[in-house]
Amino acid sequence: MKRMKKEKREKFSWLLTKSLAVALAFACVFAVGFQTYMYEAALSQLTSQIDEEVSARLVQIIERGTNTDPKLLMNDLSNHLTLYTNYNVCYDQFGLFDPQNSHSVQIVPNYSNGCHAMAALTDKDGNIVASSRQNLQIFLKFDQDIENDTDRGFYSCDPAAMERPEIRSLMLNYNDVDDLWGWDVELQADSVYINRKERTFIPHEGSVVKTEYKKRNWFSSEENGPQISDQQIKNTESSEYTIDINDLGIDSTDYELTDVYKFISGEETPRYAFLGFYGTDQAAFDSYEDEFRHPEADTSSYHYYGRNDGTAAFARNIPVSLNGEKYTLSIRYVYNYMEPALVRYYWTYTILVAALLIIIALLYAWRRNVRNKARYAMEDFRRDLTNDLAHDIKTPLTAIGGYAENILDGDLTDAEKERYLRSILDNVAFTDSMISRTLQLNKMDGTEKLRRESVNVSELLEASVNKYEILLDEKNIRFSSDGSATVKADRAALEVIIENLVSNAVKYTSENGSVKAECSEKGLVITNSVAQKVDVKALTQPFVRGDQARSNTEGSGLGLALADRAARTAGMSLKLSCADTEFRAELKF
């Protein structure tokens, strides 16, 4: 016969270790999945923009170029490349730090560390004829009549001037913004040097205005894309600049100093708009110059390749035709997966999810341990109850066997036979009572459904005391009761408690003693006199009868255990105490 294996009990340390291991495993799965999500989000947005938006727009601009002057045409194309070669990758905050999801994590070229968008137009010999290298641009309108305004269009800062300290200082001041979302930077001009022949200009006087906002809400619409609303200005900084063309070492023959007016609409001319530094950081552009000079064959979509510095390049080479000549438009999106904003975004959510999973694991382990302790305690209780019952039931069974043997031996008078038979019946009744009470105690595991109703405590007390009138008279015990109460409780549970408290008081009160009951809305207190002080520490344990021997069959030692278990099941508490010769049982409702 196969021997049953004893169930191994879970220790809290082992349970906690398992729970934390599962939590960390899920955290690792989330970390990998979230990293994949960020990668796929960037991949989807970048490929969409490079294929559908930027490529199509740039090709359209290039192929519609009709300027007869090749130099002005390439200058115009460079201006367009700097303006339209861009990307924008957004990551939602999932409502965690931004309930309206109006301020997402946004990655844009130049402002985001290591991220760049660049484009170059190369001829058949591999010469770069137009590019998105960063330059200073302005859009000028000289006449209200657009058809006759032949000089109208984009003007770029003279390439020779771009390298001068005055322009470099202006560029650094313009780009010096730590928080792209919290600041707006606007380059304003009061007057500029204009070279209409080459479509170049040099700023003369103006200011750089930086505006800091307290709050900026972003929303997106299908028609207009990202929009800003509810702007609250926190601070405004303005720095003036003055640049003299004579200090730049540039031939000023073809330049005229002209006052300009802000905004494209108005009576006074020339008017300007879009004044600012646009295009790709020159150092970043130079690092890809060889790829632009030797473009690969046409690709139907894009090709992607990672680099050792944590960045990746999304590349697109497109053949285009301009005035009958073949050119290649090369676009490069450089995306930095280690950009600080992305790293913060990744670790913020990863750590938060890991912390949440660990908290859940701790709560689970704690709850499981509490339930295990309760189950193990119940198992131990039932095992001990069975062992104690088996031990205590031997006494009456031994007595029954002895009396039965005496009767069988004969030579007994009728009176002796009657006395032995009555003793047998008394021990049978005691054994039956002990078994019944043990079964009743074993059922009280806290899973019973309580039915709360209004119960008159005084009536239950009186009914219980009436059962022991004969015993009270035999032992000459004085019983007194004071007070009354009606409480919301489970009637069956309260009956068990009061019945066993009264039974315990009557059975263990010494002759000529007294029992007193005090009832109130807060609880029931029953006191009785005893022959000597009783140790109450273990009295609520089954089969414990204070200082009396276990062979005593006057009581089963289950009464107070039943009362205590019923009280806890019904949401009450039972407190026992003994001072000198007064035993006290206090039931709190």
Of 263, 278, 293, which residue sits at a domain end?
Answer: 278
Q: Is the residue at 269 inside a domain? A: yes
Please tell me which of 83-87, 101-105, 361-365 the model is most confident about, judged by mean pLDDT: 361-365
Rounded to whole angstroms, the Cα distance separating 285 from 117 reads 9
Q: Is the residue at 389 inside a domain? A: no
Counting the structural domains of the chain, the total is 2
Say which residue the tokens 């005035």 belong to: 323
pLDDT digits (tens, 9 = 90+) for 459-478: 989 988 887 787 788 889 99
The answer to whether 424 and 396 are in contact (CB under 8 A) is no
Of 256, 278, 300, which residue sits at a domain end?
Answer: 278
How many distinct helices (H) and strands (E) make up the chain? 14, 22
Phi, psi of 282 (to 5 degrees): -65, -40
- Whether the pLDDT of residue 553 is over 50: the answer is no
Q: Is the residue at 47 inside a domain? A: no
CATH number at residue 565: 3.30.565.10
Nearest partner of 286 among 108, 128, 415, 428, judged by Cα: 128
Supply the pLDDT for residue 362: 95
Supply the pLDDT for residue 53: 66
Q: Is the residue at 20 inside a domain? A: no
Q: Is the residue at 37 inside a domain? A: no
Residue that wins the pLDDT comparison between 235 and 261:
261
Looking at residue 512, the DSSP 8-state letter turns out to be T
Average pLDDT, the chain: 81
**Helix 340-392 crosses helix 12-48 at what angle (to 10 degrees)?**
150
> Could you tell me which residues are beta bridge partners of residue 517?
481, 526
Q: What is the DSSP string of 190-249?
A: EEEEEETTTTEEEEEEEEEEEEEEEEEEEEEETTTEEEEEEEEEEEEEEEEEE--GGGGT
Q: Which pair of tokens denotes residue 574?
A: 């039972």
Rounded to whole angstroms, the Cα distance separating 271 from 142 reads 7
Nearest partner of 45 among 94, 124, 108, 3, judged by Cα: 108
List, in sequence order, every beta strand (DSSP E) within 271-374: 271-278, 303-306, 311-322, 325-336
Q: Which pair of tokens denotes residue 428?
A: 């049978």
- Whether the pLDDT of residue 36 is over 90: the answer is yes
Please tell me which of 39-43, 150-154, 257-261, 397-401 the model is most confident about, judged by mean pLDDT: 257-261
Q: Which pair of tokens denotes residue 306?
A: 């990672």
Helices (H), 64-205: 70-84, 159-162, 165-175
Q: Which pair of tokens denotes residue 190?
A: 């009061």
Say which residue the tokens 């207009």 belong to: 224
Pairing assessment for the beta strands 89-91 and 105-107 based on DSSP bridges: antiparallel
Of 278, 313, 341, which residue sits at a domain end?
Answer: 278
Lowest-confidence segment of 78-82, 207-211, 332-336, 443-447 by average pLDDT: 443-447
Say which residue the tokens 């000198």 belong to: 580
Q: Which residues contact 290 (CB under 8 A, 6 or more apart)?
A: none
Q: Is the residue at 227 inside a domain? A: yes
- Whether the pLDDT of residue 92 is over 60: the answer is yes
Residue that wins the pLDDT comparison between 400 and 485:
485
Share of the chain above pLDDT 70, in %: 80
pTM value is: 0.64
Q: Which pair of tokens denotes residue 385?
A: 């109850």
Name the residue range of residue 203's domain: 135-278
Helix, strand, coil percent content, the chain, rounded in steps of 5:
40, 30, 30
| Average pLDDT value for residue range 91-120 | 76
Q: Is the residue at 123 inside a domain? A: no
Residue that wins the pLDDT comparison between 185 and 70:
185
Nearest partner of 155 among 205, 80, 206, 66, judged by Cα: 80
Q: Which residues contact 25 (CB under 8 A, 6 or more apart)?
A: none
Q: Which pair of tokens denotes residue 74?
A: 């390439």
Rg of the Cα atoms in the chain: 47
- Whether the pLDDT of residue 138 is over 90: the answer is yes
Q: Is the residue at 290 inside a domain? A: no
Q: Which pair of tokens denotes residue 21?
A: 């291991």
Give CA 18 to chain center in angstroms: 21
